[in-house]
């Protein structure tokens, strides 16, 4: 497996080795020993699978307490995957990174605890899978608005009216409202 660095050092793009022939292909999506060799000592407690149609946008989700690290990939279709750094002590606090994940590029993304996460489906259908380092805790789940101007996430030019967004995600809050004390403190420190 190879690692591609992103502009946020803790978020990694993983590229597994794919062995293919006329029958199809084989790849490992997770191997503890191989990832440890690459400096990622990960332990997972939950696997999730979602199927979504074109222009579905899910996120930007995070857990205020019991944050989850996620190893994510797409087994069918294509998505634009986005991670936002919400770690107040981080030099990249409030920054985001995105990566196209698809069944053809086989890329995976490691999103450590302390990040909000979301994705936009670019294909007709997408099967999105992820391993989590902590259990889902709905009482701690929060959602940042996908279209927050302060974050300025480039979702690839899809018109907002064409997006399919859950009612819960449409009620997401602005980054500055969720992290106001941290933002005010960092402004004073400049």
Annotated active-site positions, please? 61, 130
Q: What is the C-alpha to C-alpha distance for residues 98 and 90, in angstroms, rounded to an integer?
A: 18
Within 10 A of 170 (CB to CB), how many other CB atoms are there? Answer: 13
Closest to 116 in 3D by CA, of 136, 140, 96:
96
Backbone Cα Rg of the chain: 17
74 in Cβ contact with 102 (< 8 Å): yes
H or E segment to which residue 19 belongs:
strand 18-21
63 in Cβ contact with 137 (< 8 Å): yes
DSSP collapsed to 3 states, 134-189: CCCCHHHEEEECCCCCCCCCCCCCCCHHHCEECHHHHCCECHHHHCHHHHHHHHHH
């Amino acid at each position: 497996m190879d690692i591609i660095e992103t502009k946020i050092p803790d978020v990694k793009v993983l590229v597994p080795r794919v062995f293919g022939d006329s029958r199809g292909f084989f790849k490992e999506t997770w191997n503890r020993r191989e990832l440890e060799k690459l400096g990622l000592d990960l332990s997972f407690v939950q696997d999730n699978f979602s199927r979504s149609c074109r222009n579905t946008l899910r996120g930007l989700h995070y857990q205020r307490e019991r944050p989850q690290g996620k190893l994510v990939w797409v087994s069918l279709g294509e998505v634009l995957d986005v991670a936002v750094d919400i770690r107040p002590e981080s030099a990249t606090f409030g920054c985001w990174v995105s990566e196209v994940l698809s069944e053809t590029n086989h890329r995976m993304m490691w999103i450590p605890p302390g990040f909000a996460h979301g994705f936009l489906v670019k294909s007709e259908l997408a099967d999105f899978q992820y391993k989590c380092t902590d259990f889902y805790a709905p009482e701690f789940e929060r959602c940042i608005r996908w279209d927050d101007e302060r974050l300025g996430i480039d979702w690839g030019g899809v018109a907002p009216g064409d997006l399919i967004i859950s009612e819960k995600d449409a009620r997401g809050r602005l980054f500055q409202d969720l992290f106001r004390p941290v933002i005010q403190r960092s402004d004073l420190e400049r």
